[in-house]
Structure 1
Amino acid sequence: MSQTPAKARKPYPLNFFILVTLISILLAIWYVTDYLRGHQAGNVTWYPATAECQLPDETCHATLDKGQTLSFTLHTPEPRPLEPLPVTVRLEGFSEDELRRLKLEIDLQGRDMYMGYNRTPMQYQGEGVFSATPLLSLCTDEMMVWRASILINPTGMNLKSFYGSYFDFTVYR
């Protein structure tokens, strides 16, 4: 006589709770990315570059409020994905006290393609110079135009007071 064991069944409520948990996680991820994208673009006063410039061959400039200027330099002759990208920003027209209070970040995005959250804080080096070494995300295209957005927060805390400029450059894989 052979007995077949009763087939073990997972209780129905467990499958339902797994499904509800997965849907909740997906909604949370969607909400966070939508929230970050809204704060990234909507609350920033942008100042355009003063003239066409060819990064990384040239230093690019933008005129900010009250005659203040921002200069942006890429220190890599041929930027590549997943390699360090040393950059500097020089601010002129600010007092030393103002410069110490500023919080600068560089945000690297595809100009025509959202590449996720890729924002790096910049460190104050003195005499109006800020630096950072972010990484470019990997892209499957042979050529991609990237946008380096320099975000300046004068108080270091208030999201509504961001201003800055952006500069485009081309990366070949």
Structure 2
Amino acid sequence: MALILALLIVLGWRGPSLLQPSVGDEAEVVGDCDLHSGACEAQWDDGTHLTFQITPRPIRMQTRLQLEAEVSGPLAPDRVQVDFQGLEMYMGYNRPELEAQGDRWHSEGILPLCVTDRMTWEATVMLHRGEDEEAVRTARFRFETRRDEAGDLSAEALDSE
């Protein structure tokens, strides 16, 4: 019984970090990046270029979000995912898989409602090539959401959209 309790404590303490994307080859974000204002860009040393955007703007919790990534460079990815992590608190596993349309990748996503008034998020765009998880390329973009009466929708309102 004590062993099970100890295992549960360790999983509760370390579990969220085990779900974070592994860092393989991390891109450098180009210039000032504000996903609330427009697309952000990142570049890898080999010339691979990523343009990432989230709409509608401003980005809100409990709202259907359109995710778009455009990738150009020497090696096209086989898969693209966006991993959303709350920085102030663990907000659950949230990693939509984007679908390819040429050199653009699209998907819908949603940020869960946070009990605090503000939440800083990190959207990690993950470019996969092959099955080697160590070969994942990542680009990290941070943004903040605010809870307000005019913005975030209840689950019932979201279902009726």
- The match for 2:137 among 163, 167, 172 is 163
- More helix by percentage: 1
Name the residue aligned to 1:52: 32
Name the residue aligned to 1:113: 89
Q: Does 1:129 align with 2:86?
A: no
Name the residue aligned to 1:7: none
In structure 2, relative to structure 1, the CA distance for the partners of 1:145 and 1:36 (3 Å cut) is closer
In our comparison, the structure showing a higher alpha carbon Rg is: 1
Contact conserved, 1:43 with 1:159, CA < 8 A, in 2?
no
Contact conserved, 1:151 with 1:162, CA < 8 A, in 2?
yes
CA RMSD of aligned residues (A): 2.6
Unaligned runs of 5+ in 2: 148-161
Name the residue aligned to 1:10: none
1:133 and 1:170 mapped to 2: Cα distance? Answer: 19
1:26 and 1:104 mapped to 2: Cα distance? Answer: 36
Query: Normalising to structure 2: TM-score of the pair?
Result: 0.77
Q: Map of 1:13-28 to 2, 5 A cutoff? A: 20=1, 24=4, 27=7
Identity among equivalent positions (%) equals 24
Contact conserved, 2:27 with 2:44, CA < 8 A, in 1?
yes
Q: Map of 1:29-48 to 2, 5 A cutoff? A: 31=11, 34=14, 37-38=17-18, 40-48=20-28
Q: How far is 1:61 from its partner?
A: 0.4
SS in 2 for 1:37: helix
Q: How far is 1:78 from its partner?
A: 2.2
Q: How far is 1:23 from its partner?
A: 7.2
Q: How far is 1:28 from its partner?
A: 5.9
- More strand by percentage: 2
Query: Normalising to structure 1: TM-score of the pair?
Result: 0.72
